[in-house]
Amino acid sequence: MNQETMNRVASMEKILNDTQKILENLQDAQQKWLENFENFQKLSEYYSSDKWFEDVQMEFPQDFPHGVLSEDGAYNLFVDQGETARKSIEIALKYL
């Protein structure tokens, strides 16, 4: 066995191991993303509800977290969610 063969096998072994780890992380993230879908739907419904518009008018203490009342925060999340879903489809199609 020569050094070139050993280098090739070592290189492919690293790719195999790295890809397995990436895939495990991706599968974990996909599962969490799927499990969060109902919560995302709740947020989407809240954001377009009368309750959200009522809550926006309220005064909250400075130290009380209320970023959900920011139009940009929720809008950016919805856009990012959609872009991530589309990108996931594009990537999946490359692998199929």
Check residue 1 and give its pLDDT.
Answer: 84
Model pLDDT for residues 1-29, shown as the tens digit of each residue = 899 999 999 999 999 999 999 999 999 99
pTM above 0.85, yes or no: no
On whether both 19 and 57 belong to a single domain, the answer is no
On whether both 42 and 31 belong to a single domain, the answer is no
Q: Is 64 exposed, middle or buried (0-12, 13-18, 19+ CB in 10 A)?
A: exposed
Asked if residue 44 lies in contact with residue 78, where contact means CB atoms within 8 angstroms, the answer is yes
Q: Tell me which residue range forms the domain holding 68.
A: 38-96
Among 75, 55, 77, 76, residue whose Cα is nearest residue 66: 55
On whether both 18 and 59 belong to a single domain, the answer is no
Mean pLDDT along residues 37-62: 96
Alpha carbon 70 to its chain centroid, in Å, reads 20
Q: Say how many domains are in the chain.
A: 2
